[in-house]
Structure formats: C-alpha cells, structure tokens
Amino acid sequence: MTNTKIEKHENTAQAIDSLSSLITKAGASLAGMAGIAYLYGSNYLTAYYSKIGAPWVMPLFSSEQIARQGLSGILLMVIAAICSVITLMNGNTSSEGLRKSGLRLGVISLLLILFTLAIPKTYISPLTERFLVFLSSMLFLFSAGVIAGLLISRLKDSKSQWKSDQILLLMLIYTISIATTPSTLANSQAEADINFKDSGLPYALLDGDTSTQWRLLRTFGDKVLIMHLTPSVKDRKFKLVATESLTINSIATQ
C-alpha cells in the first residue's frame, strides 16, 4: 500500500516536472516571438515605405511602434503556437501530427500565392489580388505558429539539446515570419495606397497650400507625414508637418 502511494507520488512529481518544463519552453518561445514581432514590424515598415518612395522615414519610428506593427502581424502565429502547445499538453496530437499540419498549411499557402502571382492583372481586380495575398500570408503565418509548436515538442523530447532538425525548424520559422510574409503584405498594401485612381489614403489640406492634394500617411507624435500622390514615383512629394496645420478630408477637393 505504501509502495503504491510512493509510486503515485513519483508519477505526480514527474508529471508536474514535465508540465513545468514544457511551460518554460513555451514561455521562452513566446518571448522569442516578441523579438520576431520587432523584426517583422521592421521588415514590414521598411518594405512599405521603400515601395511608396519614402525609406527615409524609418528612423522616425520608435521601437515601440515597430514592435506594435509586428505584433499585429504575427498575432495569428502566436495563437497557432499556443494552440499547438495546448494540444500537445493535452495529448491530443503528436510531433508528427504537428509536422504534417504545418507542412500542409505551408504548401497550401505557397500554392495560393503562386496562383495569385500567375494570374494576369487583366483577369483579377486589385481588391481580389490583395485579398488572396492577405489570405495566403495569414495561412503562412499560421503554419509558422504550428511549426513553433513542433519546435517546442522537439525540444521537450530532446531535453533542450539542440539538434540539426530543430535548427532547420527555427530557420523555417524565421523565413516564413520575418523574411517572406511582412514584405509580401507590405508591398501589397503599398501598391493599393499609391494607386493613383483608387488609393484609400485620406486627403489632407495643408495650410497655405490649397493647390496641392495631399494624402495622409502616418502620424509621428505631433507631426504628420503627408504625400502628394502622383503616377510617377520621381514626381511624388512627401512632407512632415505639424498636426495643427492640416485639415483631414475623406474626399478630394476640387
């Protein structure tokens, strides 16, 4: 009877230790995602402002603004990673199951983006193209989250000793979440914003300059970045002005 109690106690201690170890690894991975959020935001903003012709604005962004931009981008990835860890802890899936799920999602998203790029512009509207790019990017990020869960599982199985397959998984997460997705989404958004006919950027009236139709891009504290949108990049003008010198309109002025 005593032996049975001791055995149960040891099993409970082992389960708690295993759970604690898994939570610690999950916490470390999520902390690493905070770094990924910053890199994601930096790559997104760099790609966006380079596309519209204003790469010089990057030093104006604070670290907090960059991280916030990235956090909104990888939110789906974080959710997928958390769900993967929870399903592992509950025993509802295995490392192999996560691997197959991550690969399926990655292949589907890759095929979708290739399909979108292969369609001639004359057969697809800009809005539809943006939706397909967004959908494929979200699937890509979700697959990266699943792969992050797989990495946590592999680390648990190997007792935190890094192996070649785990390093490959880490590189795959980096490629999907930092090197590929942010620039793809940023370029798609930038193309929509600089579309001379259909740009959704709000109009802005600048005091003392009623002849130029400015577009509002972003606020930086008490300053606002505005753009004079033209079909040609070389003719495009940008200004950083005080907030009180602007009047925002939803439609163009005649």
**Confidence (pTM):** 0.72
The owner of tokens 């300059």 is 209
Domain boundaries, the chain: 2-193, 203-249
Low-confidence ranges of the chain (pLDDT < 50): 1, 5-6, 8-11, 13, 15-16, 19, 251-254
DSSP state of 53: T
d(CA 251, CA 67): 32
| Residue pLDDT, tens place only, 137-183 | 888 888 877 877 777 766 665 555 555 555 666 666 666 667 778 88
| Residue pLDDT, tens place only, 188-201 | 888 888 887 778 88
Residues 215 and 203: beta-carbon distance below 8 Å: yes
Q: Which residues pair with 225 in a beta bridge?
A: 218, 240
70 three-class SS: helix
